[in-house]
Amino acid sequence: MNPPSLESPFENARKQMLDAADIAGFSKNTVKKLLEPERVLKSNLVVEMDDGDVRSFPSFRSQHSSARGPYKGGIRFHPGVTEDEVMALSVWMSMKTAVLDLPLGGGKGGVVVDPSKLSQTELERLSRAYVARFFRYLGPGTDVPAPDVNTNPKIMAWMVDEYSRLAGKWTPGAFTGKPLSAGGSKGRDRATAQGAFFVLSEFLAEEGQSLQGKTVAVEGAGNAGLTMIGILHAAGAKVVAVSDSGGAAHLAEGFDDQILARLKKERKSVSEYPGAKKIGADELLELDVDILVPAALENRLTATNAPKVRAKLVLELANGPTTPEADAILFKRGIPVIPDILANAGGVTVSYFEQAQNDSNFHWTAEEVAVKLESRMRSATRDVVDKAREHGRELRMGAFVLAMGRIIAAMDARGW
């Protein structure tokens, strides 16, 4: 199988699947069924603005694989959303749920919009319009969306309410990442970062190391990034660089997560941290630190800057931050990359827990959620490390081989 050209995130995802297939010797005809999503939905959402004007917003939902269960994946509201991006993210969700051995498939959605330019009522109309347009393709046994970039529990509450209205009954399991008052799960707000911490801790333990005293650079100070900084600080690591859309900063003695949180609450950039040195966003990726945590958007580590990365370990908190070319370069340089489909899978894992709680109409304590999350994340980390060692390849290929093997086994069992 000849790999496609790397012109897009989706082509990157396809190449990763093809590479894993070659490594593991999977059937070419079977793998071909995974190279395209099972369904891609597209629509223009027509929404009335507060001033009476009507605007149209392009929207997408990519449903990649349902071999192991209902499609699962977030919905992002961002002006840069593309069909290609959504398709790629749906592939990575399929891999992610399989790596964690969850009975789910992979999906992803998006709307081309800058939500900061909408009022709350306009945002609610847009959220409900998305559900109304794709209603017949969503649901607890079909496709269960969740929050993603620029979406949050409030938006999920609007969406699940709209779904329930159309279904004629309260259906909390149709969406996850909801507020606790609307059927959400305790621990969901910290799940992505908490899961990444468990993965990182387990990986370091495999190497006979701990987080104590490690220096860390975190690119991206959204919810996951900020939460990760707090967790790392509590574990004895020192976050010496951080960035957001407003800039990047470096502080040798380490950032205080509480001060960073206060800056964000005041709608200020982390680059305004008192006493910190402002640096370029790309400079952060090349700092001499123990651990680099990309927690922003796709394709940040590339063939151009991978040779300049000086971190000893990369932990992908974002989706798709490393291109395949950069992966190969970092692997040859002996810099492990803990891939997104393992590292940031805490979010989808607790989303699965939320579905299970909704189905049973019984809610777990925060402690129960944390214990179950830690068990799954640490177990998955050992599985990925073992698979990578078995094939003598980078961790991402170990994760892809593991995930695709599980998906293909489900396809075979179902006669696909």
Range(s) for CATH 3.40.50.10860 in the chain?
37-170
Contact 344, 195 (CB under 8 A): yes
pLDDT at 9: 85
pLDDT at 49: 98
Four-residue CA torsion sign, 105, 111, 116, 122: negative
| pLDDT single digits (tens) 330-353 | 999 999 999 999 999 999 999 999
The C-alpha torsion from 303 through 307 and 313 to 314, rounded to 10°, is -30
Cα 325 to the chain's mean position, in Å? 21
Residues with catalytic function: 108
Task: Write down the H helix ranges in 59-147.
Answer: 83-99, 120-134
pLDDT at 324: 85
pLDDT at 255: 96
Range(s) for CATH 3.40.50.720 in the chain?
190-343
Cα 270 to the chain's mean position, in Å? 22
**CA dist 105 to 38, 73, 97, 297, Å?**
11, 9, 6, 22
pLDDT at 7: 59
| pLDDT single digits (tens) 229-251 | 999 999 999 999 999 989 999 99
pTM value? 0.92
pLDDT at 358: 97
Residue 61 β-bridge partners: 41, 109
pLDDT at 341: 95
Topology of domain 190-343 in CATH is Rossmann fold (3.40.50)
The C-alpha torsion from 130 through 134 and 137 to 142, rounded to 10°, is 10
Q: What are the tokens at 267? A: 């709608």
What's the rounded Cα separation, in Å, for the pair 37 and 90? 8
Local structure of residue 301 (DSSP, 8 states): B
Q: Is 43 helix (H, G, I), strand (E, B) or coil?
A: strand
| pLDDT single digits (tens) 178-217 | 999 999 999 999 999 999 999 999 999 999 999 999 999 9
Local structure of residue 113 (DSSP, 8 states): -
Name which CATH class applies to 37-170.
Answer: alpha beta
R_g (Cα) of the chain, nearest Å: 20
Residue numbers of the chain with a pLDDT score lower than 70: 1-7
Contact 187, 350 (CB under 8 A): yes
